[in-house]
Amino acid sequence: MSVELENKGLHHLGLATHDMEATLDFYENVLGFPARVCDLMNPQAGGTIRHAFLDTGNGELIAFMECNDVPGVSDDFDAGINRGLGIQGGMIHFAFKVENPDELQARREHLADKGVEVTDVVDHGWCQSIYFHDPNRLQLEYCCLTSDFTAELLEDRRAPGWTSLSRS
């Protein structure tokens, strides 16, 4: 039996939090992502995990797990990921889609009105973005495309500056 494999998009992204209440408050009341599932898990090793899924749109979810007294899970790991890996800035980040620059600016104003520190709009040439952090210090982004994906956007991949950095 042959099954055609077709990419369907992201189902959910699973992340960690040390403060489920602050995380749910931020994602529901600041970003407007409604909670769809909140459940408790009891690992065999012991402890309890609070697990919440929030709807980011288009059937895609973001999930957070908060471990409570789970053996082998430190109480103070970096839920923001970058610092724990020793990476400066927002190398690892998550971007949410907006449709156009006007919506991006409206999101920026909304975040600022909610007291969230947010960057000015950054123009990457083919897209525009704003950056901010959640209560876990995760780097987040809203992003909109400002041009079509053309062959020109892949030109750097063939350039000596790109190929000279190959590690294989």
Domains, the chain, ordered by start: 10-69 (3.10.180.10), 80-154 (3.10.180.10)
pTM of the entire structure?
A: 0.89
Other C-beta atoms lying within 10 Å of the C-beta of residue 93:
15
pLDDT mean over 145-152: 94
Going from the C-alpha of 150 to that of each of 12, 99, 122, 157, the distances in angstroms are 28, 19, 20, 13
CA torsion sign for 119, 123, 124, 130 is positive
Percent of the chain scored above 90 by pLDDT? Answer: 82
Question: Mean pLDDT, the chain, as a whole number?
Answer: 94
Q: Name the burial class of residue 59, with classes exposed (0-12), middle (13-18) and buried (19+) by CB atoms within 10 angstroms of its CB.
A: exposed
The distance of Cα 41 from the centroid of its chain, to the nearest Å, equals 23
Band of residue 147 on the pLDDT scale cut at 50, 70, 90:
very high
Tokens of 98: 């907006």
CA atoms of 67 and 18, how far apart (whole Å)? 7
pLDDT of residue 63 exceeding 90: yes
Q: Tell me, what amino acid is at 33?
A: F
> What pLDDT shows up at residue 9?
84
CA atoms of 6 and 119, how far apart (whole Å)? 36
End-to-end CA distance of the chain: 36
Residue 14's φ and ψ, nearest 5 degrees, are: -100, 125
